Amino acid sequence: MKIKNFIIRFLCVFFVTLIFKNYTYANVITYDYDYDNDGIHDKIEENKINGILHLTMYLSSVNERINYIIKPDDSEIIPSIHKSYKKGDIEVDSTYYSMGGQVYSEVYSWFLNEKQFFLTRVITGERADPISEVFFPSLKIDRVKCCRVLGSNEKYIIVPDVDVKKEVISSLRKIEVLINEKKTDDAISGVSIYDAIEYADILDDNNVVLLNDLAFFLAKNDMISSGIILEKIVNNYPSRVVAKLNLADVYWELGKEYNKYDKSKQLYKEYKDFMIEKGKGGKIPKRVFVRLSS
């Protein structure tokens, strides 16, 4: 009888363990990407167990496995990991996807010398809503002082706005040099959505021409970043009619998937009316008339 009970208990434990292992394995998600910015693809395994995010990283620049445990501040939201807009950056995303699009995401950047991911930016705000023709997110970018490690919940210190502005201006000057040297691909290669938001935030009379040029070049590969800058230019400098045309083009392309064209047509009409009023109707691109009549 004792042997029978022992066998039954053993089988119960065995199958429970087997089920748990299979459950755990089934919840492992693997991401392949160049996370440490050395040109070689890396691998991150993400596993959510009992409301806690477990990460195992295999980075080409490190000859060992790195493990992180991320405990959410809000027990209702288990964060997820995804690549950010720049190589060498990852995001711990705790966005309220079911609560009106409230964004909360932490950007961690890889520091090779320390062989560690440190928090560099905190993103908050509202997601885009293309159905309502809100094509761009409304985000606040807070830069963070070093050095909060990935997985830590200790408090962070935000970089003062005046210091951020200096860094953003310095970044724009480098872009200006590249554009003047006709190296436009290099000028836009490192610009992310978050960078575009920071550039748009410091728009003024001194850089409006540069930002207008940057937005024009960005539109070839990144409609969102381009549109974020153009929208700020059109709102602050409505007389910049070419920016209005370029923004209309961005709205048009982004609206295709949702069959939403009201905002683009409104800008096309404003552009057309302005050009005709100035006696420049012959310079209006044909696509403006075609799209207004569609």
Name the domain count of the chain: 2
Helix (H, G, I), strand (E, B), or coil: what is residue 281? helix
Q: What are the distances in angstroms from CA 110 to CA 14, 104, 118, 156, 230?
A: 41, 20, 7, 17, 31
Tell me the residue range of the domain where 168 lies.
161-292
287 in any annotated domain: yes
- For residue 134, list its beta bridge partners: 129
64 in any annotated domain: yes
The pLDDT of residue 41: 86
10 in any annotated domain: no
17 in any annotated domain: no
Nearby residues of 144 by Cβ (< 8 Å), 6 or more positions away: 119, 120, 121, 122, 156, 157, 158, 159
224 in any annotated domain: yes
63 in any annotated domain: yes
165 shares its domain with 62: no
Residue in the structure block whose two tokens are 């609206």: 255
61 shares its domain with 122: yes
Q: What is the pTM of this model?
A: 0.84
137 shares its domain with 169: no
Dist CA 101 CA 95 (whole Å): 7
136 shares its domain with 74: yes
Judging by beta carbons within 10 Å of its beta carbon (0-12, 13-18, 19+), is residue 19 exposed, middle or buried? exposed
Q: Which CATH number covers residue 225?
A: 1.25.40.10
Dist CA 243 CA 233 (whole Å): 7
154 in any annotated domain: no
185 in any annotated domain: yes
Per-residue pLDDT of the chain (294 residues; tens, 9 = 90+): 444 443 444 444 344 334 334 444 447 888 888 888 788 888 889 898 888 889 998 988 887 889 999 887 765 677 888 888 887 889 999 887 765 668 999 999 999 888 899 999 999 999 999 999 999 999 999 999 998 999 998 899 999 999 999 999 999 999 999 999 999 999 999 899 999 999 999 999 999 999 999 999 999 889 999 999 999 999 999 999 999 999 999 999 999 999 999 999 999 999 999 999 999 999 999 999 999 999
139 shares its domain with 195: no
Q: Where are the alpha helices (DSSP H) in the chain?
A: 2-26, 161-180, 184-189, 193-201, 208-218, 223-236, 241-255, 262-277, 286-292
| Residue 77 CA to its chain's centroid (Å) | 20
